[in-house]
Structure 1
Amino acid sequence: MVEMTDNMTRNYNNYTSTSKLEQASKQQTLAMDGYDNQGMLRSELNINGNATNVGNTCINMDSLNSKCGVVGTKSDNAGQLNEKQHFYDPYQHREVKHPTSYFDTLIHFLKASLGTGILAMPSAFKNAGYIVGTLGTIAIGILCTYTIHLLVTASYELCVKRKIPSLTYPGTVAAAFEDGPRPVRKFAPFAKMMTNLFLVLYQIGSSCIYVVFIASNLKAIGDTYLNNDTDVRMYMVYILIPLILISWIRNLKLLAPFSSIATCMTMVSFTLIFYYIFREAPSFESREPVGTIKSIPLFFGTVLFAMEAIGMVLPLENEMKNPKRFGSMFGVLNSSMIPISLLYTLVGILGYLKYGEHVKGSITLDLPHDEVLAQVVKLLLSLSIYICYALSNYVAFDILWKGFEHKMEKNEHKICWEYALRTSIVITTFFFAIAIPNLEHLISLIGAFCLSSVGIAFPAIVSFLTFNEVYKNAGNFRYSLFCLRNLVIVIIAIFAFIIGVFTSVSDIIHHMK
């Protein structure tokens, strides 16, 4: 798998320094504000009023002292000023060729979250029941948001320690193990390899689902007009070339206008879907409030896949013009996840109440086949997911390309190899989609297998390793709560992985017989 290299971070050697006086003033501001937008780090502060050094972690106290009215001695103030002057804020050292704005990043994040998963929510509620489904979706939404915050906060702190501008997700995991307790440091390469593996599998799995979704909806339209029952796999063959072409877009910034268009198409489509749902009022009659023990794990895997966008988090945050606005209170993450959670719950419960036990893997497939308006919905969402396919492949390509990019530096055919890799990813997703063309089972399997680990367990482990020494010095009670928090999250992830994968695989095998 990919080795630990300097390519995992953006090291900018051509950073231009300001004068000493300007630098001191700038760093003073950064030292006071750097942690304000990383809300979780505020809980790590020592209330004695002095700059605290725990292991490699440097925590500056001036912001807290000024709010609490703490006045230090001249020597204390001199020491604190020295800490400010040496404080490294990664955000101020990033040089991104094509930085994205708050709005651009918000659109990308919404598109990464509002994919095919939301259209499978009625199917998820069928497996869980409308009461368990509602409570479970809200709980999973909170859990996903919290673990993303854990990851972003830990990544920022590790960048501060190492004085580097940014880290990728695998780089963050490796750095957390390398800087963690001595017994786990030797596992850093393995941890990085596993993170890369699960991320690539998740992104490729997501792309497989997109292929199945597009083909299934085009088949529903085609069968109506052609009066035949063409195999869905043939439609996968038809869309292969267009998928390859859109995957060749190399710049994330260039995808922003397409993402905006796709988001508009998605909103129009959902408006029409709600029209069909309410055209005849949904009913609670013969609808189950609680699903069976066997089917609830399928619900967890589907919702986790639908709501989790962990693979896009750090790439999007690293590309922002003002990355502090990603994880702040009203930043991209919170501004996205709250409406996403509510929308997923609404679509899930209303879709299930409308179509009941007959609901399919995508609610679009339950719409009338012979109505033009329903066909417009399927076509618009197919185009939207087609654009989302490029975003999904972006992360998979980025991880794989970093593995051998340094070997291609002097290769005059480097660009050809890059396009070859992008094409190979598309072809891989195509063959996996051919193998498992059932949308409902594929979504649940990818969610349980990949996202229970990379979306839930890994962020908790990274947070524990990064802030372990800080909490040890915060007292036994706080350290116990810190350990318990991360342990509970990891246990939930392990349970979801085992039960979810087993149930999904069993259903796939049963469906193939």
Structure 2
Amino acid sequence: MEMGLFCIAMTVYYATNLNPTFSGMKTHDTLSSVFEFIGMLVFGMSCSGVVLPVENHMKDPKKFTLAVPIILKGLIAFMIFITHALNFWVPFSLMFYYIKQRHSEKRIVMWECIYRAIFVTGIAVSAIIFPNINALMGFLGTFCLANMAIIWPCIINLLVIWHRPGLGRCNWRLWMNILLILVGLVIFVCGSFVNGRNLIKIMRTL
């Protein structure tokens, strides 16, 4: 508990002292910019889906929060090195579980290294092709994560609770999930269109 409060205090301190001031910033922007922001916001939500499984598999999860102040004070390159490995571990483990079935167990380590190198190279090439990472993050957030983080969880939740414990008085659980699904669809359609258009503009300037 104390460590969590300390991490929050450190985050607030760095956010308020090292960030630029609000002077000169616009109070509002266009509707398309709003969907760009929503896309990056949804993209940021994916971090919890990566961090929590890693923390749950740790021998001593309480030590996990000790890394937060160190990362805040560390170099940017070191942060990228750590966070890339952390975010890359979960999707690669999921994919390689099925890929390794196509190869001999005697050379499974070799194939794992090969596939890791291929995926990392692909990520590096994507970063080179899209120097403006904001548009790519926004597109991934609205096109991919709006489905996985908003729409499908609501559908799965309805399937699970439909008979027990039920939809509640006046079917409030049903209406709540329908509302969230509609919000997810708006983010998916409008956000994908706006951020996809920005990606096309960037590709044309390369």
User: Could you tell me the TM-score, scaled by structure 2's length?
Assistant: 0.76
Matches within 5 A, 1:95-244: none
**Could you say which structure has the larger radius of gyration?**
1
Of 15, 34, 40, which residue of structure 2 is paired with 1:302?
40
CA distance in 1, matches of 2:40, 2:194: 12
CA distance in 1, matches of 2:40, 2:31: 15
How far did residue 275 of structure 1 move?
A: 4.0
Of 75, 92, 100, which residue of structure 2 is paired with 1:380?
75
* Equivalent residue number for residue 69 of structure 2: none
How far did residue 425 of structure 1 move?
A: 1.1
Indicate whether 1:413 and 2:104 are aligned.
no
* Equivalent residue number for residue 288 of structure 1: 26
CA distance in 2, matches of 1:301, 1:414: 37
SS of equivalent to 1:288: coil
SS of equivalent to 1:501: helix
Of 414, 436, 441, which residue of structure 1 is paired with 2:135?
441
* Equivalent residue number for residue 68 of structure 2: none
* Equivalent residue number for residue 482 of structure 1: 173
How far did residue 493 of structure 1 move?
A: 1.1
- Any unmatched runs of 5+ in structure 1? 1-101, 107-262, 326-331, 336-376
Shift in alpha-carbon separation, 1:299–1:471, aligned structure 2, 3 A: same
CA distance in 2, matches of 1:466, 1:316: 26
Deviations 1:153-197 (A, max 9, x none): xxxxxxxxxxxxxxxxxxxxxxxxxxxxxxxxxxxxxxxxxxxxx
* Equivalent residue number for residue 161 of structure 2: 467
How far did residue 308 of structure 1 move?
A: 3.3
User: What is the root-mean-square deviation in Å for CA atoms of aligned residues?
Assistant: 3.4
SS of equivalent to 1:412: helix
Of 121, 141, 146, which residue of structure 2 is paired with 1:427?
121
* Equivalent residue number for residue 73 of structure 1: none
CA distance in 1, matches of 2:56, 2:159: 22
Indicate whether 1:495 and 2:186 are aligned.
yes
Alpha-carbon contact 2:154-2:180 (below 8 Å) kept:
yes
What amino acid is aligned across from residue 428 of structure 1 in structure 2? G
Indicate whether 1:401 and 2:92 are aligned.
no
Shift in alpha-carbon separation, 1:505–1:292, aligned structure 2, 3 A: same
CA distance in 1, matches of 2:201, 2:77: 28
Return 306-315 or 435-444, whichever deviates more: 306-315
Alpha-carbon contact 1:311-1:395 (below 8 Å) kept:
no
CA distance in 2, matches of 1:411, 1:307: 36
Q: Structure 1 residue runs of 4+, over 6 Å off?
A: none
Shift in alpha-carbon separation, 1:310–1:463, aligned structure 2, 3 A: farther
Shift in alpha-carbon separation, 1:500–1:401, aligned structure 2, 3 A: same
How far did residue 277 of structure 1 move?
A: 4.2
- Any unmatched runs of 5+ in structure 2? 66-71
SS of equivalent to 1:488: helix
Shift in alpha-carbon separation, 1:316–1:411, aligned structure 2, 3 A: closer
CA distance in 2, matches of 1:308, 1:399: 16
What amino acid is aligned across from residue 467 of structure 1 in structure 2? I
CA distance in 2, matches of 1:387, 1:307: 18
How far did residue 413 of structure 1 move?
A: 0.7
CA distance in 1, matches of 2:105, 2:19: 56
CA distance in 1, matches of 2:157, 2:60: 23
What amino acid is aligned across from residue 394 of structure 1 in structure 2? W
* Equivalent residue number for residue 316 of structure 1: 54
Pick the structure with more helix per residue.
Answer: 2
What amino acid is aligned across from residue 54 of structure 2 in structure 1? L
User: Could you tell me the TM-score, scaled by structure 1's length?
Assistant: 0.33
Deviations 1:348-380 (A, max 9, x none): xxxxxxxxxxxxxxxxxxxxxxxxxxxxx9x81
Indicate whether 1:456 and 2:141 are aligned.
no
How far did residue 290 of structure 1 move?
A: 2.5
What amino acid is aligned across from residue 287 of structure 1 in structure 2? M
Shift in alpha-carbon separation, 1:400–1:295, aligned structure 2, 3 A: same
